[in-house]
Structure 1
Amino acid sequence: MTPFRRTDLSKAVACVLALPLLFARQAAAQTPAPDAAVTLDRLKVTGERMDAGAGVGTGSRLALRIAEVPATVISVGRDTLDARGVRTTQEALAAIPGLVAASPPGHGNAVTWRGFSGSQISQLFNGIDVKYASIAARPVDAWIYDRVEAVGGPSSFLHGAGAVGGSINYITRLASRDADDLQWMAAGGSHGSGVLAGGVNRLLGGPEAPGALRVDLGYSTSDGWMDRAHRESLTSAASLLTRLTDDVDHTFAVEYQKEDSDRPYWGTPAILGDDGRLRALPGTRRRNYNVSDGHYGQEVLWLRSLLAWRASERSRLSNTLYHYDALRDYRNVESYAFNDRVDGVIRSGTLLQRHDQQVYGNRLDWNWDGEIAALQSRWAAGLEVSYNRQTRFPLSIPGIVDEVPLDAVTPGSFFDVPGTSRTYAPDRTNRLHTRALTLENITWLADSLSLLTSLRHERIDLDVVNHREITAGNPARYRRDYASTTGRAGLNVEFAQDRSLYLQYSTAADPPAGILSTASFSTLRDFDLSTGHQLELGSKLRFLEGRATATAAVYRIVRRNLAIADPENPGQTRPVGQQSARGAEFALSLRPTGTLNIDANLSWSDATLDDYYENVSGVPVSRAGNRPTNTPSRVANLWLDYAMTPAWSAGMDLRAVAPRFADAANTVETPGYVILGAHLRWNLADAGSLTLRGRNLGDITYVAHAIGTEMIYLGEPSSFEIEWRSSF
């Protein structure tokens, strides 16, 4: 691993500080004479529309421009998702500098960002946290989503416990009063993949009572790039916008998602090369060692009632009442390793699992525009209550199942494994009652200087009911109350229109080990929440007459009180560990000519286990100074699109990820990789567009995620697809 030197960080800080100043002279040169007519760049201000669902507020609930928020805030809109051929919510995340994600079935959506992963990254749905993101945020077909937003670093002050490394928000399309609209798309390609999706927005009610109805529906199927894997998915969303009075709007929204994966690919056994890196044997790269009747399936239902009331010119209230219902089923043999001769695969990890989860909640927000001592000020206050209930039904069969040949095709049936059963027996039920108060303010101390502050006080009551045998380490019932107060303070200086520099300090709180919605007595005991804080310096620019934007940020994050193996008492844990990360992120969007678009991002991260002991065969071993697993030091992305003629355009995309460690000991690595994609698009004026797209054109075999030191999850090989999109 190449260390992140202090000189590198110093250079990054200097770049961030210099960016706004580099364009100050250009701004002066472009300032028109007093008598000249001025055409201002068009700015999109989110949250000002009366639509109840507008302005979810991933980075702030104050309806601010991104340039006004002193933090790294990314928004990936519908046009970008379409232009890049994004198929799932996971693929949309490449637009976030430094973020890597993979979706092994047992991990759902494993995200690493700013040196943190798992439950330290909050993944929200329309601003709602179901407290099980590492599984519940499994990639969903992207058609029903309007955009994906993200804010880097600790953000518990907005979204609750968790979010040390950042927050991601998947935002669904909603009915809009903009215009009648009809969109549809169809695609087909390699690995038996096919997609058919459509959406319609229809204005209702006439000018005196304007409303709207929107319906989106998508179906996809694929045989997968691994042997005999098959997946089908149905995603749907519908919303009805109604004007109750001149000042009150209501939106009722419902979503339904169903996914079935037969014989899902769980991973590939790996060999360790002389260079200390894990690789797949050539003959196993497309082999699926799961049982023939392996299965993963989920059904998700969302209901939301969104009310928006403009109480006065300065005051607005909004209320979100929501319900989430999910059922997830697993039936697989999940672990594979080579035998000593490397001519057969030893299979283990037999698991039948069901997750039954329901969430009920309500969030009330009040926004007010006013003054503090004659200074312009804006306030947002919120009250949120939720009830989260999840029961798990695991049937785990320990030990080795069998050994199969490297070229095995359909190796056995799940229910042939001794001890398996079709009966779901509950293990435990976790109930979370959450109450939170939030307060946020921005005050303009001068025309170009603003101070943004946020505060959240949250109380969580955890009640765990044991449905299995009662023991000292697994009591019949376990209750624990948590309380946390987190916040943010940030200064933002706008040197000129769309040129700003900011400094922010923020804090977070999260469980010391595990996830509260699935936590057991042994993982939590009497531990309090972990704490984290971040210092971030950054700048945001818009230049070349609005044809270019750039952002840069450097940060330092420290997370304390995480659970570690007790070095003095083997077999026990203590909440005294520490993990930290420092790094830099850059993003650029440039349109140098009317025919060329360039988007790029680049990140460096130095993540460290500062105080961490790992339990190795019952012996605590220090991992202090090591890098966390599956955490790359460098990530880069590039997208180019060139319009050759009004009807024809072509583009390419490039993604590069540095090597990552597969273990906390930092003795085993997965290789870094670079993958290249390209597309050719034919635009048929108002009729639509036809796109031929290739992914991983070099057919690179790369590791998307390490599952321990004997098994890896491979990324998608070379594939091609042809896609038609049209709108009316």
Structure 2
Amino acid sequence: MQPRVSITLCCVVLGIVIHSVPAATVIAADHHSDQIQTRNTTIHYDIPAGSLIDALSRFARQSGVAISIKADQLKGLQTPGLTGSYSIETGFATLLAGSGYQIRKTDAGYVLQRAPIITGQTLPMMTISTAAASLKQGTAEEGYRVSNISGIGLWGERSLRDTPYSISVVPSDLIENVNAQNMGQIFKMNPLTQEPNIQNFTGVPFVTIRGFQSANPIYDGIPMAAGNGSAVSVIEIDRVEILSGTSGFLYGGGRVGGAINYVTKSPTDIPLRRLTFGNYGGTQFYGHADVGGKFDERGRFGYRANLLYQSGDTAIGEPVTQKVANIVLDGHLTDTLYADVKYTYNDYRKEATQPTFNNVRNRTGIDTSKRYSPKWASNDVESHKTYTSLRWDPSKYFTLRSAFFYQNTHMRASRIQLNEQVEKTFTQVLTDTANEKHENYGGYIYLDTRFSTFTINHKLTVGYSSTVWDYLMSDDCCIRQNGTSSLSLNELKNIPEPNWGGAIGNEPKLPVWTYRYNNILIGDNITFNDQWSAMIGFNYGTTVTKAFRSFGDIDYEKSALTPTVSLMYKPIETVTTYVSYMEALEQGTIVGSTYANYGEALPPLVSKQYEAGLKYDINPNLLLSTALFRIEKANQYSNNAAPIPTYVQDGLHVHNGVELILTGKVTDNLTIIGGGTLMDIGVEKSNNPAIEGNKPTNAASRMGKIYAEYALPWVPGLSLTGGIYYTGEKYADAANTDKIPSYTLYDIGTRYTTRVLDKALTVRLNVINLTGKNYWQEATYLGVPRTVAFSVSTMF
């Protein structure tokens, strides 16, 4: 007979007394709680995602009820958590959704039991385990719909629908199913983001959101001070959380238009053994292994490992080699203390990288399906990343959260910049940056406190975050040469490699440039009742810049207070409306030597955003989000005064817009990710009348995109996929004389899932840019050519 235990929980000051008796596990009420429910009343809960048994324990203590569970019933099962006001039955049902279990009321409390199996639709040859179904959110079966976000700024994990910001989430299932080689494919598909360029370097794409570029990435909630050196691989990503809108309070400096949070993979609660073999296009074949699970029978300590090797030529003949190793360990050190550590090694080399184009006279005469660079035009990146995080829940009133990140990246790039002349010829600038070194540090510590004032519930968070970017280089690291003559595009591949001299091989020595952002934060998440809530916060942010050696002698430090306030109203349970105000702090320019105020450090720029939005759960796997917004950002420019101009801050960039996104399953067989952005953007006020009313560079005012998957009902396991992605025209220069044409891209694909030798097998095929459209991603970079990618994944 299987042994059983009983656990009785009761509060003794801040401790918990545990007794063992020969019965089922009994999670007992906390009878000292001032929130004990009757069966039909509701109270507010804020239970984080994680172990289902831990979540049920929290719920039972806070609601004042007892629930009996057999010791092995919930082993390895997870829950997305519970945020909001619920009755006892509704709260239990929400936590247990998808687990295969339900509760039954008895005279002694509640008993956990198996839910009845509902028949009616079966997939031949397919078996889905209960544990696997509850392993993660955002699966293809759920229409890539995610219910909770991992956290945003100092706000911890919470419901996506009940977060008063415009957010979309890209889960790993979608990344895998479109055979994405990098995040460029994902941002191309997303209705809120422009397709970024990542052809000439590996790393974090610089994504344009709401007309502003978001250059500094965020890893597991830790903001980076700069994008340089922040290499990322798709195999280490569990999800990408895209915040559309100003985020100064949340993450400190920069990110006026939005923020990108890369949430990395964690250990799995059930054994995972998966191999994927595929091709990213051309002859870029790769192999990827993903393994995870628990070390011990109790499931307290886990592991995850992702390994990738890739080699071959892109669709236009650019040789690529990449090696990635991602290792994760975590553990519930005690019942209230959790910690993890993550490490990623990324070694990437790309040769014959496309040149960048300046002063283009004819944007319709360049073919994206051709390679224009010699093989020596290359990019090398070697990156080491380490993360660690800790969460401590000493009681239901307090939670301590902390995390730290470090990345060390060596880079070398040999590049060609082109300037178009008459009759489609180009002069060249040849640049070599040998052995650059980038170091990124980041971390935060937050303390959550939960309490009530009369009938109003509070979750008050105080904390501190800091991030630093150091750029190191050797003497004579960066070499710049002019080409010998003006050449046609077809002649560029024959340019001989220059003699770069002694820069090659020199080890970086001392920092030449440093960015640092420090943030002191306080925020209160206030729940008035089931319908009304608010989030109020302040961030005292400091931006620091230092430059040394060849970059001069700069020591800059400025601070500003960036507040936020949001008010939410839920007219019905499935709808959340909100209004919010947010500010963003940016570093003021350090004026260069060509201006009368040379050396002056201009004050920080504080941008302001006003937003109103609505989120509607049409069904449990379909979310509609829409938002109206206005962003006001200060200008910085030359006043063109004679005889020497002054660099000034004056006037506003104003971006007014509306955006909409629909994510999830429209029917049982049809999945949709679609929507669009429509903006009125321009310079509203300026001392320079010539630029008033002009559009900002590389910012499209209109985007409309849709991606769909249809599961053929007459062929179980087979899905057809595809997308249509429209990006409106934009401008390459501030004078708006160089227009980048609009473009529409088409993708198609298919996916088949079955079982072979009792192992799950998935085959994917995707054609990117089906029509071979010639287009510009932005002012200086060409678009992606037609590319055919495929993969085969199997469990072992």
TM-score normalised by structure 2 residue count:
0.75
Q: Which amino acid aligns with 1:698?
A: T
User: Is residue 745 of structure 2 the alignment partner of residue 671 of structure 1?
Assistant: no
Deviation, structure 1 residue 724? 0.8
Matches within 5 A, 1:543-622: 543=618, 545-560=619-634, 562-569=635-642, 570-611=644-685, 622=690
Q: Which has the larger radius of gyration?
A: 2
**Residue number in structure 1 paired with 2:439:** 358
Counterpart CA distance in 2 for 1:186 and 1:401 is 44
User: Is residue 277 of structure 2 the alignment partner of residue 191 of structure 1?
Assistant: no
**Residue number in structure 2 paired with 1:13:** none
User: Is residue 459 of structure 2 the alignment partner of residue 459 of structure 1?
Assistant: no
Which of 441, 459, 466 in structure 2 is aligned with 1:378? 459
**Residue number in structure 2 paired with 1:448:** 531
Counterpart CA distance in 1 for 2:339 and 2:178 is 33
**Residue number in structure 2 paired with 1:492:** 568
Deviation, structure 1 residue 163? 1.4
Q: Which amino acid aligns with 1:129?
A: P
Counterpart CA distance in 1 for 2:184 and 2:785 is 17
**Residue number in structure 2 paired with 1:617:** none
- SS of 2:656's equivalent in the other structure is strand
- SS of 1:408's equivalent in the other structure is helix
Whether the 8 Å CA contact 2:191–2:677 is kept in 1: the answer is yes
- Greater RCO, 1 or 2 (C-alpha within 8 Å, sep 6+): 1
Give the 3 Å change call, closer, same or farther, for CA 628–486 of structure 1 in structure 2.
same
Matches within 5 A, 1:417-566: 422=504, 429-467=512-550, 474=552, 477-513=553-589, 525-543=600-618, 545-560=619-634, 562-566=635-639
User: Is residue 767 of structure 2 the alignment partner of residue 694 of structure 1?
Assistant: yes
Deviation, structure 1 residue 325? 1.0
Which of 146, 150, 153 in structure 1 is aligned with 2:238? 146
**Residue number in structure 1 paired with 2:212:** 116
Deviations 1:571-607 (A, max 9, x none): 4311224212011100113533322222211111222
- SS of 1:341's equivalent in the other structure is helix
- SS of 1:192's equivalent in the other structure is coil
Counterpart CA distance in 1 for 2:483 and 2:492 is 19
- SS of 1:131's equivalent in the other structure is coil
Counterpart CA distance in 2 for 1:43 and 1:621 is 60
Counterpart CA distance in 1 for 2:631 and 2:334 is 47
- SS of 1:97's equivalent in the other structure is coil
Counterpart CA distance in 2 for 1:327 and 1:222 is 22
Whether the 8 Å CA contact 2:398–2:447 is kept in 1: the answer is yes
- SS of 1:632's equivalent in the other structure is coil
Counterpart CA distance in 1 for 2:485 and 2:433 is 17
Whether the 8 Å CA contact 1:115–1:631 is kept in 2: the answer is yes
User: Which has the larger share of strand?
Assistant: 1
User: Is residue 244 of structure 2 the alignment partner of residue 155 of structure 1?
Assistant: no
Deviations 1:214-234 (A, max 9, x none): 1111222342233x4212222
**Residue number in structure 2 paired with 1:22:** none
Q: Which amino acid aligns with 1:210?
A: R
Give the 3 Å change call, closer, same or farther, for CA 688–524 of structure 1 in structure 2.
farther
Deviation, structure 1 residue 410? 3.4
**Residue number in structure 2 paired with 1:24:** none
User: Is residue 315 of structure 2 the alignment partner of residue 221 of structure 1?
Assistant: no
Deviations 1:525-559 (A, max 9, x none): 3212111010001100012x424321110100001
Give the 3 Å change call, closer, same or farther, for CA 349–434 of structure 1 in structure 2.
same
Matches within 5 A, 1:258-273: 258-267=347-356, 272=361
Give the 3 Å change call, closer, same or farther, for CA 597–416 of structure 1 in structure 2.
same
Deviation, structure 1 residue 79? 2.1
Counterpart CA distance in 2 for 1:62 and 1:200 is 28
Whether the 8 Å CA contact 2:434–2:503 is kept in 1: the answer is no
Whether the 8 Å CA contact 1:540–1:551 is kept in 2: the answer is yes
TM-score normalised by structure 1 residue count:
0.82
Counterpart CA distance in 2 for 1:714 and 1:247 is 52
- SS of 2:235's equivalent in the other structure is helix
The percentage of counterpart residues that share the same residue type is: 17
Give the 3 Å change call, closer, same or farther, for CA 354–372 of structure 1 in structure 2.
farther
Which of 376, 381, 395 in structure 2 is aligned with 1:293? 376
Matches within 5 A, 1:603-642: 603-611=677-685, 622-642=690-710
Q: Comparing 502-511 with 78-87, which one deviates more in the overlay?
A: 78-87
Whether the 8 Å CA contact 1:58–1:150 is kept in 2: the answer is no
Counterpart CA distance in 2 for 1:97 and 1:253 is 31
Deviation, structure 1 residue 412? 2.7
Which of 171, 174, 179 in structure 2 is aligned with 1:85? 179
Deviation, structure 1 residue 249? 1.7
**Residue number in structure 1 paired with 2:131:** none
Give the 3 Å change call, closer, same or farther, for CA 571–103 of structure 1 in structure 2.
farther
**Residue number in structure 1 paired with 2:295:** 204
Counterpart CA distance in 1 for 2:633 and 2:546 is 26
**Residue number in structure 2 paired with 1:412:** 495
Give the 3 Å change call, closer, same or farther, for CA 588–387 of structure 1 in structure 2.
closer
User: Is residue 779 of structure 2 the alignment partner of residue 706 of structure 1?
Assistant: yes
Whether the 8 Å CA contact 1:145–1:171 is kept in 2: the answer is yes
User: Is residue 176 of structure 2 the alignment partner of residue 102 of structure 1?
Assistant: no
Deviations 1:308-332 (A, max 9, x none): 1111122111221322211221122
Q: Which amino acid aligns with 2:324?
A: T
Whether the 8 Å CA contact 1:397–1:420 is kept in 2: the answer is no
- SS of 2:282's equivalent in the other structure is helix
- SS of 2:423's equivalent in the other structure is coil
Counterpart CA distance in 2 for 1:250 and 1:676 is 44
Whether the 8 Å CA contact 1:268–1:285 is kept in 2: the answer is no
- How many aligned residue pairs are there? 648
Counterpart CA distance in 2 for 1:415 and 1:236 is 34
Deviation, structure 1 residue 42? 7.6
Give the 3 Å change call, closer, same or farther, for CA 460–704 of structure 1 in structure 2.
closer
Counterpart CA distance in 2 for 1:433 and 1:409 is 40
**Residue number in structure 1 paired with 2:337:** 248
Give the 3 Å change call, closer, same or farther, for CA 211–507 of structure 1 in structure 2.
same
Which of 318, 322, 330 in structure 2 is aligned with 1:233? 322
Whether the 8 Å CA contact 1:98–1:634 is kept in 2: the answer is no
Whether the 8 Å CA contact 2:747–2:769 is kept in 1: the answer is yes
**Residue number in structure 1 paired with 2:152:** 58
Give the unaligned 5+ runs of structure 1.
Answer: 1-34, 469-473, 614-619, 708-712
Deviation, structure 1 residue 507? 0.6
Deviation, structure 1 residue 378? 1.1
- SS of 1:700's equivalent in the other structure is coil
Whether the 8 Å CA contact 2:591–2:601 is kept in 1: the answer is no
Counterpart CA distance in 1 for 2:793 and 2:482 is 50
Whether the 8 Å CA contact 1:682–1:689 is kept in 2: the answer is yes
Q: Which amino acid aligns with 2:211?
A: G
Q: Which amino acid aligns with 1:117?
A: Q
Deviations 1:81-123 (A, max 9, x none): 223333212322245433112225379623211111254xx42
Counterpart CA distance in 1 for 2:224 and 2:168 is 22
Counterpart CA distance in 2 for 1:123 and 1:43 is 33
Counterpart CA distance in 2 for 1:183 and 1:108 is 26
- SS of 1:553's equivalent in the other structure is strand
